[in-house]
Amino acid sequence: MANDEVILLYFWPSMFGMRLRVALAEKEVKYEYKEEDLWNKSPLLLQMNLVHKKVPVLIHNGKSICESLIGVEYIDEVWKDKAPLLPCDPYERAQARFWADYIDKKMYGLGKKIWLTKGEKQEAIKKDFIECLKVLEGALGDKPYFGFVDISLIGYYCWFYTYETYGNFSIEA
Closest CA to 135 of 102, 169, 157: 102
Q: Report the percent of the chain where pLDDT is more than 70.
A: 97
Note the pLDDT tens digit of each residue in 62-97. 999 999 999 999 999 999 998 899 999 999 999 999
Going from the N-terminus, what domains does the chain have, and what CATH number goes with each? 6-78 (3.40.30.10), 90-167 (1.20.1050.10)
Note the pLDDT tens digit of each residue in 118-159. 999 999 999 999 999 999 999 888 776 678 999 999 889 888
**14 to each of 5, 36, 65, 92, 98, how far by Cα in Å?**
22, 11, 16, 28, 22
Mean pLDDT of the chain: 92
Strands of the 57-60 sheet, one edge to the other: 32-35, 6-10, 57-60, 63-66
Task: Please state, as a whole number, how many other Cβ atoms lie within 10 Å of the Cβ of residue 36.
Answer: 21
In the structure, what pLDDT confidence band is assigned to residue 34 with cuts at 50, 70 and 90?
A: very high
Confirm whether pTM is higher than 0.85.
yes
pLDDT of residue 143: 73
In the structure, what pLDDT confidence band is assigned to residue 32 with cuts at 50, 70 and 90?
A: very high
pLDDT over 60 (residue 105): yes
